[in-house]
Amino acid sequence: MKNALALLVLLLLSAPSVADDTLRLVGLFDDKAAVIINGQQTIINTHNLKRGLRLISSTQDSAEIEINGTIQPFQLGSSSIVASYQKPQRLTVQINQNAQGMYQASGKVNGQITEFLVDTGASVVAMNEYDAEHFGLSTTGIKVKAQTAGGTVQGYQTILKTISIGQIQLNNIKAVVLPGAHPNRPLLGMSFLQHLKVNQQQRRLLLESMF
């Protein structure tokens, strides 16, 4: 990891500025990539679009990057003309507080419709085993301990291919499956919310994509 970060810093320091409509891949580490586009450095990842870009896959010296819906291969340090690049508009979802003072929102997990309860106190998205089966998930896997209102329980870690609320969709989100029927609806925790701008205004919660 240290070597990867050192390589990233070296490439960023040595990379020349690039012309408009040119994307340059300058660093790779974990599930992220550093690129320079239109002369500006940005970090993209596999979870969500950022400025119309998303990392699809990567090796030690190459990556596939989605650019406004088109997947293009890049070698580390290489540049490519991306004349079709346009900065997309930010996507915003407004959730109104219900009578119980909670924020509940309709959405989808792996394409299946569900009702979420927004929970900024939950470190990850969490759901009961029956919801997991409905979403086509395995209810067994890597064991984890989860702290609930009823105490500590043993759950299973999983990865959700997609979570969507309104027009906002994120991919490859960590989640925990808990035994039994609780929580009674999926909790939209920080493994999803950390990729968005979250702003509470009176009785409204605004979720905004970060491009």
Q: What is the mean pLDDT of residues 110-133?
A: 94
Q: What is the pLDDT of residues 154-205, one digit of tens each?
A: 899 999 999 999 989 998 899 999 998 999 999 999 999 999 999 998 899 9
Q: What is the mean pLDDT of residues 5-32?
A: 58
Q: What is the pLDDT of residues 76-113, one digit of tens each?
A: 988 877 655 555 567 899 999 999 999 999 999 999 99
Distance, first Cα to last Cα, the chain: 26
For 8, 12, 30, 31, 191, the CA distances from 60, given in Å and listed in that order, are 12, 16, 10, 11, 26
Of 77, 62, 120, 122, the closest CA to residue 95 belongs to 120
**Residue carrying structure tokens 């890049």:** 74
C-alpha span between 89 and 84 (Å, rounded): 15
| Residue 98 backbone dihedrals phi, psi, to 5 degrees | -85, -175
Q: Is the pLDDT assigned to residue 45 strictly greater than 70?
A: yes
